[in-house]
Amino acid sequence: MLELKNIRKSYTTGTFTQHALKGIDLKFRQNEFVAILGPSGSGKTTLLNIIGGLDRYDKGDLIINNRSTKSFKDKDWDAYRNNCIGFVFQSYNLINHIDILSNVEMGMTLSGVNGKTRRKKAMEVLKRVGLKEHAHKKPNQLSGGQMQRVAIARALANDPDIILADEPTGALDSKTSVQIMELIKEIAKDKLVIMVTHNPDLAHEYATRVIEMKDGELTSDSNTVTEKEKIDNDYKIKKTSMNFKTALHLSLNNIKTKKGRTILTAFASSIGIIGIALILSLSNGFDKQIDIFEKNTLSALPIVITKQSMNLDEETMEKMHEDMSSENSYPDTKFVTPVDLEEQQYTHINNIKDDYINYIEKISSEYVSGVNYMHATGLNILQKIDGKIKQINTSNLNIGMMPHTLSDDTPSVIEQRFDLLAGKEPTSKEEIVIEVDNKNRISKDLLEVLGFSTKENISFDDILKSTMTIVYNDDYYQKVGNYFIPNSNLDQVYQNKNNLTLKVVGIIRLKKEYPNMASNAGIYYTYDFMNHIIEKNSNSQVVQAQKTANYSVISGELFDLTTEEGKETKENMLAYLGDKKVPYGIQVYPKDFESKEHIINYLDAYNEGKNENDKIAYIDQANLMSSLSSNIMDAITIVLVAFSSISLIVSSIMIGIIMYISVLERTKEIGILRSLGARKRDIARVFNSETFIIGVSSGAIGILVAWLLLFPINSLLKDLTDLEGVAVMNPIHALILVTISVILTLIGGYIPAKLASKKDPVEALRTE
């Protein structure tokens, strides 16, 4: 079964070398009780440790079942200790934070024996040593003799072939010593028992074979194995394996013995999690508030198409970023760099034509609440103020067109976005509405257009009685030579029957759902009105004259038609006089924020397959605003999370320190587990499972505390900002943060766990 051939072992400390074993040759029978005697320093404990696989020999060979151990690896020695060896130590070496039953089960646990079988067998050996009723007690609740019986039960539980007892009665009184020796003698009937002792009386009384040692050498053997004796061996060494559940159980029981320290550690580690969780909750809440703002407010912003539009494609945005970057700015070079200005242009010239207008008109009314065409057409407005006819200059006044719907089935823009404070909606070219701001205000200049010069408040009824007069070009301008000037006889012009009288039929105000929208208080006419004005004025004398002239027929300014600028100036003049039917800009109002994406896709579809000059660029105002707010929020979140992450790093370092202290505290336990056959990776797993528990606890505490803090934070924000329920914790964020906590604690505890796995089992067992 077991044979030692010329086993040598020495220890070197500095320049001094101690020869513990000097060529030991021994054979052991399958069933015998061997007592090894010798004074301190004779090498008997070293011999026992080498036989048990706890220590390694320098030279020679240990033969197990006719197999040399020279090629044994760590895993082979671990399996050997677990399956073939049962240790009984002088100091019992029980794991104090688990109960007696778990101590006895430990060897079987490492062998992978299932729970039911393991428990049944452990109870049987506890009954055999007379401790069945103490199975659920902790080691510190037993006497010395009882603890030694537990150690013997643990040694027997996995049914090993060899029992190694190192001074099993050294810490016991004489009466208890006899009881333990009787128990060991009984065990030796069907096993090989090798006992190291200082007591020759016990050795000669109970052992069937007594071996004496001195100075690392054998001095006598009372029952040497002869060459003729046949030793029948038939067993295999099974590999050991501690699963994560077992490691978790061990760690959990250890943590229970230091609950206060563990809770404080977990809480300290959770501070970073709390900070990040609060930041993400606020960010998440503000993002939701921004979403609400976008849907309720930004959805009122139109998609704008003008003659000159910012090109926001990816390539242009990258160029803009490069130009704005400070990396290559302000060089120290002594030369200039030529650049093509056309390549530097970030704007796109939109050539809006009739086909594009027709394309816009075909947008599904399911997504569009209204379309507004912006014309540069000037309006000839006359108004009687305090009995005098006055010509109104509209250049700085907010007088424009109300967006029109694309389908009769679609609710009007007024219905969707405005409160009708008085009157009705305009339905014909002769009807207009007045928009007031959220305080029912409107500018004095606009009131003057309606004929009011008073500074006092004006009733809605009086507003609804007001009108303004539009004069067509042929009645407004008179020809003088090659030029046209406004008719100076304003009374006569005002009385002309051809004039178009616009009547105020309604007063509107933007709904409360759009509180952050800028007020567009002004006077608004209908789509039909503008079409009518362009139709009438485009055939006027002044327009026909302007078409053929290379100068302004109003001011006399010459147009340099050889340049694009001159041509554009003439085009603008014709547009002002009412000739140009194609608008200079278009505003498309989505029904809601979701509809905007459909409209964007529709507008993008127009540009597919077209060259750059024929493409029509647009500006999504809502997207620009929401991107800006989102980017700012993201930037703030990233900065704050980065600061809070510092505490996570500190926590990770702290966990490493705590785990290192735990390794020092549990060094004896490491030695016990190694003596029972635990592998190095099993030891690392025990400590990794402890950091796992701390990590989960830390993450859970952090999320719980952060969640509780959301209530006072939301209450405070409600008082300060009038926003309700701003901070909202995202469950996914919570799960991610707990995962991060676990990962960081595992990282922090990795080095201590690695150190623990590399501890020498013999040295670890000597630790007190």
> Model confidence over 611-662: pLDDT tens digits?
888 888 888 766 665 555 556 666 666 777 777 778 778 877 888 888 888 8
Residues 438-473 have pLDDT tens digits of 888 888 888 888 888 877 889 999 999 999 999 999
Q: How far apart are CA 256 and CA 236, in angstroms?
A: 38
Looking at mean pLDDT, say which of 81-85, 295-299, 516-520 comes out highest: 81-85
The pLDDT tens digits for 189-206 are 888 999 998 888 888 999
The whole-number average pLDDT for the span 287-306 is 69
Q: Looking at residue 498, what is its pLDDT?
A: 92
Residue 421 is predicted with a pLDDT of 94
Q: 3-state DSSP call for residue 619?
A: strand
Rounded distance between C-alpha atoms, residue 213 and residue 218, angstroms: 5
The confidence band for 386, taking pLDDT boundaries of 50, 70 and 90, is confident
| pLDDT tens readout for residues 141-154 | 999 889 988 999 99
Contact 86, 37 (CB under 8 A): no
Mean pLDDT of 266-295: 77
Asked whether the beta carbons of 35 and 53 are under 8 A apart, the reply is no
Tokens 């009769």, residue located: 408
CA distance 73 to 399: 92
Q: How far is CA 388 from CA 279, 382, 385, 449, 473, in A?
A: 65, 10, 5, 13, 21
Alpha-carbon radius of gyration of the chain: 48
Query: How deeply is 603 buried, as exposed, middle or buried, from its count of CB atoms within 10 A (0-12, 13-18, 19+)?
Result: buried
Q: Please report where in the chains the tokens 């061997």 appear, as a residue.
A: 34
pLDDT category at 48 given cuts 50, 70, 90 is very high
Q: What is the mean pLDDT of the chain?
A: 84
> Lowest-confidence range among 153-157, 314-318, 626-630?
314-318
* pLDDT confidence tier of residue 516, bands split at 50, 70 and 90: very low
